Structure 1
Amino acid sequence: MLFQKYFPTTIWHRLRTVPLREWSTLPLSTAEGSLIFMAAFLISAALGVVRQILFNAHFGIGEEAAALYAAFRLSETISTLIAGGALTNALVPHLLLAARTQQRAISLLVSRVLTLMLVVVIPITFILWLAAPPLLRWFVAPGLDPQTQALATLLTRIMLAELVLLVAEGVLSAVLIARGQFFLPAAGIALRNTMIILSLLLPEPTIITVAIGSLGDSVIQLLILIPGLWHHRLHVRPAWQINDPLVRGTLRLAIPGAISGAINYSNAIVDTAVASLGGQAAGLGAMHNALLLGHLPQRLCGIAIGQAAFPYLAAAAVSRDRKLFQQRWLTTITTAAFLATMSALALIGGGRWLIRLIFERGAFDSAAGDLTFAILQLFALGLPIYVIVEITGRALVALGDARTPLLANGVQLLTRIGVATLLWPIVGVLAVPIATVASGIVEVSILCGILWRRLSMVTDWHTIGDPTVSL
C-alpha cells in the first residue's frame, strides 16, 4: 500500500496490531509523534478549509467577517497569555522530575498547578469581558467603524469563555505529552474545527453562532483527553501549595513563556491593525485567508515536529546529557527546515492555483484571490525561519530558559512594528508579510546564537532540576 510505503513500518505495525482502546496511551518516538501531529494538523487544516469555504460563501470579506477576525485575534492572544502552550511546555519537564519519585507526586503537581491557574484565570476572564471594547478600539482593529467594533466586542465576549477550558486542557495534556503519548492531544487538534463547521451548516447561520461553535471546539479538546488520564489513574482535586518547588519551577518557566507566546500573538494584532488601516476590510480578509494557507506548513514543520521533540529534549536536559540534547536539537531543526523550504517553494509556485481552487466562490472574487496570493508569496519566504524559531524556543524552555525566547520575541515585535509602520504607506497590506520575514530573521539569530553558546559550555548549560537554582 502507498500509505504503508511512506509511513514508518514501526508505527504502522503498532497501530495495526494494538487495540484501538490502547492508542491513547501508546508511547511514540519523536519521528512517530511528529507524523501523528502532522496528520492532526492536516486534518484540522482540511476541516479549516471546509470551514473557510463555508464562511467565505456566507460572509465574504465584509464587515461581519472583519469583526470575527478581530475577535479571534484578541481572544487568541489572551488565551495564549493565560492558557496557551507555554503552560504545557513549562509543566512537562517538571512532570518528568516528579515521575522520579512516585505516581502520587504527578497527581499532586497537576492538582496544584490546575488549582492555581483556575484561581487566576476566572477573575481575569471577567475583567477582560469588561475591557473588550477599548482593547478592540485602541489596539486590535482601530480602522474598523464603530458598528463593526461593537459586533467584534460581542463576539470577543462569547469566545472569552474558552479561557477556563483551555487552562484545564493545557495542564492535563502535559501529562500525556510528558510520557510521549501524543495520540489524544493530536486528536483534539484534528477535531478543532468541527463545531464551527456544524454552526455554518445551520439553515441560517449567523456570525454569533460561528463564535459559539468555536467555544464548542474547546469543549471537545478537553473531553477527548479524559480516557488517557483515566488510564493513568490521575487523581485531580483542589490543592493549594504555591511553595511546592515543582509548582514554582513550572511558574518560573510558564510566566515568561506565556508572555513570549502573547507577544507572538501580538504579532497577529499588529498585522490586523496594519491591515485594517484606511478602513478597508478587504486587506484584513485577504490576509486571514493567506495565513490560513501559509500557517499550515508552519504548523506541520515547526509546531508538530517541535511538540513531538519537546519531551525528549526535556528528558535529555533532566538527565543532564548535553551531547544527546545537542544531537536531538540539530537533527530536529535540520529536518524541519528542509521540509519548510520544500513547502515554501510549493506555495510560491502553486499558491495562486490553490487559492482559486479553494476560495474563489460566492463573495470571494478574483481580485480578492490576487491580493491573497501576493500576501502568501511574501509570507512563504520566511517559512524555514519560522520553524527554526519554533523548535529552538522550545529547546531553550526544555533547558529551563524561558527568558531568552521572551527577549527574542520582544525584539522581533519591535522590528515588526517598525518595518510595518515604515512600509505601510508604500506597499499597503503587503507591509505585513514583509515585516514578518524581517522580524523572523532577527529572532532566529538571537535564539540560535544563545542556545549554541549554552551548549558549548562544559558546565552550567541548563537549570532544569538543578537544586542550586532558585525556583
Structure 2
Amino acid sequence: MIRSFMTVLSGTLVSRLLGFIRDSLIAALLGAGPIADAFLAAFQLVNVIRRLLTEGALNASLVPAWLRLQRHEGPAAAAAFAGRVLGTVSSGLIVATILLAFAMPLVMTLLAPGFAGHATLQLASDNARLMLPYLAFAGPSTVLLALASAQGRFALAAFSPLLFNGALIAVTIVLLAIHSDAARAALALATTIGIVGLLQLLILVSRRRGGALAAPLRISIAPEMRGFLGKAFPGMVASAAPQLLAVGGAIIASTEPSAVSWLYFANRLIELPLGIVGMAMGTVLVPELTRALQAGDKAMLAHAQSRGLELAIGLALPAMLGLIVLSGPIVRLLFEHGAFTAADSTATADILAWLAVALPAQVLVKALSPAFFAREDTRAPMNATLIGVVVAIALALVLGHIMGSSGIAIGLVIGAWAQALVLFRRGALSFGFAIEPATRRRLPRIVLGALAMGGVLWAAVSGTTTVVASHGGLGRTVFLFTLIAGGIALYGGLLSALGVTGCRDSVRAIRGRSHDLRG
C-alpha cells in the first residue's frame, strides 16, 4: 500500500506545485481587486463541483461496488455496471451544465451575496459560464480514473490533473507577456478551463483498457442505479468538505473588498498537504479497506487503517506548523508580484496562519472517511461535513463582522474541527477503529518530532527576520527554501532518532518489500 500511496503522492505533489505556479501567475495578472474576486468566485464554484467528482470522491462508491461485482459476478457484470454509471453520470452532468448556465446570475448571487448590485456579479457569471463545459467532461473522466484505481493503476489518476494546471500556466504567461487587460484576461482563462476538460477526457478515452472496463455504455434510471447514486452523492459531498468550507467562507467574504481573493490564495496553500493526503487516501486506502472487509481479514483491515493514520498525521502536523511559522515569507514569495500588493500579502498571510490550524482536522477526516466508504456508508461522512459547514458559516458570519477576514478564517477552523470530532465519534460508536499497537507507540513520537521541528523553524525565522528583509528577492527565496529543506531534513532525522522510521525502512516500504512502515 505504501508504494501505491507514494505513486499517488508524487503525482499529486507535482500537480499541486504546478497549481502554485498557476495561482502565482494569476495573482500577478489579476491582483486582488473586483476582477480577481469575480474570477476566483466563479473558479471556486466550478472547482467545488469538480472535486465533488474527482480526487477520490467518486471512488468512495464506485470502487467498492465494482470490486464486489467483479468478485461475485465476473468481469462482464462489473463492466456493464460501469458502463451504466458512465452513461448516466455523463448525461446527468450535461443537463446540469446547461441548467447552471441559464441560472448562473442567481447561483452567483447566492454564493457571493456581496456582489449583488455591482458589476462584479456580471463578471463572475460570465466567467463561470465559460468554465462550465469543464464539468460536463469531468464526470466521465472521473469514472474512467476510478476504474483504473480499482485495478491498482494509480499513476493515471495521480498524473491526469497535470494537463489542467499546465494549460492555465501557459495561457497566463501569454496574457502577462502581452499585457492583457485584466477583465479580458479573466475571460480568456475561464475559456481555457472549459476547453481543458475536453482534452482530459480525450486522453482517457484514447486508452482502450479504460473503455473495455465500462461497456456497453448505457443511461439507466433503474433502482440499482438510483441506489448507487444515492450512496455516491453523500460520499462526494463528504470528500469535498474542505472546498465546501472554502465556499462558505467566500459567501461571507464577498461583502469585504478583496477578501474573496485573500481567502482563495491562503486556502490554496493549505491544499498542498491536504491534496496529497486526500488524493492518496481516496485512491489507495478505499480499495485496500474494501478488499480487507470483503475478505474478512481483520489483520489487513487494522494494518490499512494504521498505515493511513500514521501517514496522515505524519504529514499534517509538520505541514501545519511550517505554514504557521512561514506564512509571511511563503505568501510574499508566491504571490507578491505584479498587481498583487504588499498589503494583499499581509492579509493573505494572516488568514493562512489561521487556516493552517484546521489542517490536522481536515487530514483526520480524510483518514477516517475511507473506513466508512469501504463499508458503503457515505451518509455518516456527509452528515459530519454538513455539520461542519453550518458551524463554520455561522461562526464566520459572527467573527467576520467583529474581526474581518481573520474572523472568517477562525470560523472555518472551528467548523473543520467540529466535522472531524463528529466523524470520529460516529466511527467509534459504529464499528471502532482497529489500530495496531505499533502505531499507538509511534504516533506520540511523530507528534513530538513535529513539535520540535516547528520550534526550530520558529527560532530560525525570529532570529533572522531583520537580516533577511535587507536582502533582495533572490536572497529571500534562497532563505525560504533553505528553511523548508532544513525543516524536512530535521523532521526526518527526528523520526529516525525517535525510532519511528528510517531511510532504509522507507525505501523498502516503497518497493513493496514490507507491510509495515518500519519494514
Query: TM over 0.5, yes or no?
Result: yes
Cross-structure match for 1:9: none
The Cα of 1:262 is off from its aligned counterpart by 6.0
Q: Structure 2: how far apart are the matches of 1:316 and 1:128?
A: 41
The Cα of 1:456 is off from its aligned counterpart by 4.2
Q: Structure 2: how far apart are the matches of 1:241 and 1:420?
A: 42
Match of 2:25 among 28, 35, 54: 54
Determine whether 1:415 maps to 2:391.
yes
CA contact (8 A) 2:90 2:137 kept: no
CA-atom RMSD, angstroms? 2.4
Q: 1:270 to 1:167 in 2, by over 3 A?
A: same
Determine whether 1:321 maps to 2:292.
no
CA contact (8 A) 2:242 2:362 kept: no
Determine whether 1:154 maps to 2:123.
no
Cross-structure match for 1:251: 229
Cross-structure match for 1:21: none
Q: Structure 2: how far apart are the matches of 1:54 and 1:352?
A: 18
Cα-to-partner distance string for 1:159-185 (whole Å, 9 max, x where unaligned): 111122111011111111111210111
Q: 1:209 to 1:457 in 2, by over 3 A?
A: closer
The Cα of 1:83 is off from its aligned counterpart by 7.0
Q: 1:87 to 1:153 in 2, by over 3 A?
A: same
The Cα of 1:259 is off from its aligned counterpart by 3.9
Counterpart AA for 2:392: R
Q: SS at the partner of 2:57? A: helix
Q: Structure 2: how far apart are the matches of 1:309 and 1:269?
A: 27
Q: How does 1:115-264 map onto structure 2 within 5 Å?
A: 115-143=87-115, 146-202=118-174, 203=178, 205=180, 206-226=185-205, 229-230=208-209, 233-234=212-213, 236-243=215-222, 245=224, 247-261=225-239
Q: 1:324 to 1:127 in 2, by over 3 A?
A: same
Output the TM-score relative to the length of structure 2.
0.77
CA contact (8 A) 2:274 2:363 kept: yes
Q: SS at the partner of 1:99? A: helix
Match of 1:288 among 255, 261, 264: 264
The Cα of 1:146 is off from its aligned counterpart by 2.2
The Cα of 1:393 is off from its aligned counterpart by 1.6
Q: SS at the partner of 1:431? A: helix
Q: Please, which moves more after superposition, 331-340 or 74-83?
A: 74-83
Q: SS at the partner of 1:364? A: coil
Q: Structure 2: how far apart are the matches of 1:83 and 1:359?
A: 27
CA contact (8 A) 1:198 1:213 kept: no
Q: SS at the partner of 1:192? A: helix
Q: Please, which moves more after superposition, 54-63 or 74-83?
A: 74-83
Cα-to-partner distance string for 1:84-116 (whole Å, 9 max, x where unaligned): 743332110111012223222232111111122
Structure 1 residues not aligned, in runs of 5+: 1-29, 459-471
Q: Structure 1: how far apart are the matches of 2:105 and 2:66?
A: 39
CA contact (8 A) 2:32 2:340 kept: yes
CA contact (8 A) 1:275 1:432 kept: yes
Cross-structure match for 1:426: 402
Cα-to-partner distance string for 1:288-317 (whole Å, 9 max, x where unaligned): 111111211111233334432121112112
Q: Structure 1: how far apart are the matches of 2:397 and 2:97?
A: 31
Q: Structure 2: how far apart are the matches of 1:264 and 1:289?
A: 14
Q: 1:159 to 1:231 in 2, by over 3 A?
A: closer
Cross-structure match for 1:400: 376
Counterpart AA for 1:292: R
Output the TM-score relative to the length of structure 1.
0.84
Q: SS at the partner of 2:337? A: coil
Determine whether 1:87 maps to 2:72.
no
Q: 1:249 to 1:177 in 2, by over 3 A?
A: farther
The Cα of 1:373 is off from its aligned counterpart by 0.9
CA contact (8 A) 1:185 1:225 kept: no
Match of 1:354 among 307, 325, 330: 330
Structure 2 residues not aligned, in runs of 5+: 435-519
Q: Structure 1: how far apart are the matches of 2:219 and 2:282?
A: 32
Q: How does 1:292-303 map onto structure 2 within 5 Å?
A: 292-303=268-279
CA contact (8 A) 1:37 1:182 kept: yes
Cross-structure match for 2:8: 37
Q: Structure 2: how far apart are the matches of 1:337 and 1:133?
A: 41
Cα-to-partner distance string for 1:316-335 (whole Å, 9 max, x where unaligned): 12223344323312321222
- Aligned residue pairs total 426
Match of 1:337 among 313, 316, 335: 313
Match of 1:71 among 24, 35, 42: 42
CA contact (8 A) 2:57 2:282 kept: no
Q: Please, which moves more after superposition, 253-262 or 60-69?
A: 253-262
CA contact (8 A) 1:179 1:311 kept: no
The Cα of 1:230 is off from its aligned counterpart by 2.6
The Cα of 1:231 is off from its aligned counterpart by 7.0
The Cα of 1:244 is off from its aligned counterpart by 6.9
Q: Structure 2: how far apart are the matches of 1:306 and 1:266?
A: 17
Q: Structure 1: how far apart are the matches of 2:228 and 2:155?
A: 24
Q: 1:240 to 1:215 in 2, by over 3 A?
A: closer
Match of 2:426 among 446, 450, 460: 450
Q: Structure 2: how far apart are the matches of 1:82 and 1:33?
A: 21
Question: What is the percentage of aligned positions where both structures have the same residue?
Answer: 27
Q: Structure 1: how far apart are the matches of 2:10 and 2:27?
A: 25
Q: Structure 2: how far apart are the matches of 1:98 and 1:260?
A: 24
Q: Structure 2: how far apart are the matches of 1:134 and 1:456?
A: 44
Q: Structure 1: how far apart are the matches of 2:155 and 2:40?
A: 30
CA contact (8 A) 2:86 2:214 kept: no
Counterpart AA for 1:135: V
Q: Please, which moves more after superposition, 164-173 or 313-322?
A: 313-322
Q: 1:86 to 1:105 in 2, by over 3 A?
A: same
The Cα of 1:235 is off from its aligned counterpart by 5.3
Q: Please, which moves more after superposition, 247-256 or 426-435?
A: 247-256
Q: Please, which moves more after superposition, 225-234 or 247-256?
A: 225-234
Q: 1:150 to 1:140 in 2, by over 3 A?
A: same
Q: Structure 1: how far apart are the matches of 2:121 and 2:219?
A: 40
CA contact (8 A) 1:82 1:163 kept: no
Q: Structure 2: how far apart are the matches of 1:359 and 1:257?
A: 34
Q: How does 1:268-279 map onto structure 2 within 5 Å?
A: 268-278=246-256
Q: Please, which moves more after superposition, 403-412 or 112-121?
A: 112-121
CA contact (8 A) 1:75 1:156 kept: yes
Q: Structure 1: how far apart are the matches of 2:226 and 2:326?
A: 49
Q: 1:136 to 1:44 in 2, by over 3 A?
A: same
Q: Structure 2: how far apart are the matches of 1:256 and 1:312?
A: 21
Q: Structure 2: how far apart are the matches of 1:221 and 1:402?
A: 28
Cα-to-partner distance string for 1:255-289 (whole Å, 9 max, x where unaligned): 222344566543222211222223x12x2222111
Q: SS at the partner of 1:238? A: coil
